[in-house]
Structure 1
């Protein structure tokens, strides 16, 4: 890396954003390799200001308008589309956008960055899950790079460097830790508490992503994302449970060879690879101690207990806005679970309800995705209101 790379970081106060800043500090330790020109958050304005002052960032965005009012010493964008307006203001062709905003909120900003000509380091699963049918043609049209930050997709991308064509690939195998409920009985899983679902055995992540890991909805999202990133159909994408989270994914080739990418369960390594790819430089993450590693376990996923992946494969086959419906229903369901308004097992039922009640349609523009996202959220919230009313009526009776 011979010149300074300009970076816009969306979601700078989340777990991926904080790790990204740690990696950039490391990469800038001898001489500056990266300049951060924009930071975006949902509401954590105080932490954002600390980051902006440390990295001398003059342009920031905060979705929460009241939180943004306290920022007076630099240019601030606020409101629902604040991240997109930040990108429109500061991005230049050749910049790198690190998309680490959780949920569908990052989609508009990513589309804006692609149209400007920015490369994308994608840590936001939902961008491709909801908008892959729109985003991937834009990536090709504008000739930008889409670099996966998720450890599983980063692993696949690294494994695929050994092949000349995707036609050589028989299947992709994404690994799953199995989450905190891997050994639980189905009835106990259904009634799991919020604190139990947040107790992930191997990864440290934000609350929403940790719940997705417990339900294996994160694997469903990753399967759909892999479909778009690597242009493979549902029948060539598989998931296997690997409790140690050392092997991040496999690529099986048509000749019978299998290539795996391994490493400690720490996001700094795939983040750094996205920032420096195709180069590799000294990292700041932990090292894998092979002397302490005695075995690697693999198990089949029980699709009846965790139907998330099975639904995701159907989403791929359906195409259109089905991914946006799947994602939106899950986001509303996870929010309700974290608020202790539903049982853990209700997450699966609510996602299935969204896919059943909202009809998927072809994607011709961003508005198609956003409209079906909004329709699904209204549908699931109405289901939740109806359940709440029924529950109250039952209690009164």
Structure 2
């Protein structure tokens, strides 16, 4: 089957998802081509090399001061490649906090949003408003945006990149919506699986960042250790697939082979299994609904293996329970949950907060917000979300000050 190449705008290109996406694109030039790249600006050399390698027409950096560094990096990268003056064209450079959102609205078939954290919300909204297919790796923008995002999205416009939600989307092809009994989201359990709450008080940031299965950035890796990441994924699953929270279950699966499952009303369960490699989920998001051959290694069924499944320990890891409460509350509550978490993770990594106190502090900030006049339910505005996010961060910083 021949495919017309899809034009891709990649936001968060220098991160883990971004670099894996570019590897996939480089191996499938007949299917995909990159027309725009965005990054924070902290690694101008890598961003410049990516732009030269892909031929991207436009590059965006969130740090306005990084534009000059990026310009210099282009010439250095071109020199390393042996280009002489005039042999290459420096891409258009967009700089500043709104640069990624401006790029997300440019012409393309797909915008893959892999920006870290709440900062990705404006780009998500810009891509949807421009009518682009949104391949969403930035789960936070959907979670904190809630109705603000889902109201803007046309049916099928958002395609999940997270391996769990990719797995659910694949398994849901196996039955009609009314035949779905529950969604089962798998969690690796992180580096502290099996420990009691008491045993978690003395764990170090270095231990929390040593994930047994996945290679990710510090925020997502720490979120995986607290299981805040799984709580965020439960909210995301609810918003993407319109399944009530009471019918979304989390189960611990240390091998990270079964990425999630759908249980149907007749007792049948469909599970999606593949080695822990994000390129499979990325390829499906970019090619949806078609699969990309050889996107990632397949299972070797000639080798014996054991898959384990354990119930979630809510006492040691209460983040999923709290996330379900927050998701059911809706309004600005998810923005408060996420903003407080990002600040608490920073405090933990900086040595100012002990590990179990991350979720304890988030719960306190969420409870304070619920009792405040600024708490909002129903339809959201961008201003309300950003205000709640800013308040939650400020309050979390107060509570975690050294």
Question: TM-score, with normalisation over the residues of structure 1?
Answer: 0.92
Distance 2:156 2:195 in 1: 44
Return the match for 1:361 from 376, 386, 389.
Answer: 376
Which of 183, 208, 221 is 2:194 aligned to?
183
Does the CA contact (< 8 Å) of 1:91 and 1:113 recur in 2?
no
Per mean C-alpha deviation after superposition, the further-off stretch among 39-48 and 236-245 is: 39-48
Q: 1:57 maps to which residue?
A: 56
- Match in the other structure for 1:7: 8
Once the two structures are superposed, residues 328-356 of structure 1 have per-residue CA deviations (whole angstroms, 9 ceiling, x without a partner) of 11111111112222111121112112211
The answer (yes or no) to whether the contact 1:117–1:144 under 8 Å persists in 2 is no
User: How far apart are 1:276 and its partner, in Å?
Assistant: 1.1
Match in the other structure for 2:65: 66
- Matched residues in 2 for 1:293 and 1:275: separation? 32
1:178–1:242 Cα contact (<8 Å) kept: yes
Kept after mapping to 1: 8 A contact 2:128/2:157: no
| 2:391 paired residue among 372, 375, 378 | 375
Q: Deviations over 1:43-84 (max 9, x none)?
A: 222111110011011211111222222223332222222211
CA displacement at 1:144 relative to structure 2: 5.4
TM-score (normalised: structure 2): 0.91
Question: Quick check: 1:248 aligned with 2:262?
Answer: no
CA deviation after TM superposition for structure 1 residue 132, in Å: 2.0
CA distance in 1, matches of 2:245, 2:34: 37
Cα offset, 1:294, TM superposition:
2.5
**CA, structure 1 residues 293+40, in 2 after alignment: closer, same or farther (shift >3 Å)?**
farther
Q: Quote how far apart the aligned CAs of 1:323 are.
A: 0.9
Task: Return 5+ residue gaps in structure 2 as ranges.
Answer: 72-89
Q: Report what 2:36 is aligned to.
A: 38
What are the superposed Cα offsets for residues 129-149 of structure 1, whole Å, 9 maximum, x if unpaired? Answer: 101211111113xx5521111
Q: Which runs of 5+ in 1 are unaligned?
A: 389-397
Q: Contact (CA 8 Å) 1:272, 1:283: kept in 2 or not?
A: no
Corresponding residue for 1:100? 114
Give the structure 2 partner of residue 76 of structure 1. 93
Query: What is the deviation of 1:243?
Result: 0.7
Give the C-alpha shift of residue 116 in structure 1. 0.6
Q: Which of 124, 127, 143 is the aligned partner of 1:113? A: 127
Q: Secondary structure at the match of 2:185?
A: strand
Alignment CA distance shift 1:232-1:48 (3 Å): same
Matches within 5 A, 1:116-135: 116-135=130-149
CA distance in 1, matches of 2:145, 2:270: 29
What number of residue pairs does the alignment pair up?
377
Cα distance, 1:4 vs structure 2: 1.9
Per-residue deviation, 1:177: 0.5
Residue pair 1:120, 1:144 contacting (<8 A) in 2 also: no
Give the alignment's Cα RMSD to 1 decimal.
Answer: 1.4
CA distance in 1 between counterparts of 2:317 and 2:58 reads: 42
2:172 to 147, 160, 163: 160
- After superposition, the C-alpha distances for 1:258-286 in whole angstroms (9 at most, x for unaligned) are 11100101101111111112112312312
Q: How does 1:155-304 map to 2 (within 5 A)?
A: 155-164=167-176, 166-304=177-315
| Greater mean alpha carbon deviation, residues 302-311 or residues 330-339 | 330-339
Q: Is the 1:156–1:249 contact (alpha carbons within 8 Å) kept by the matching residues of 2?
A: yes
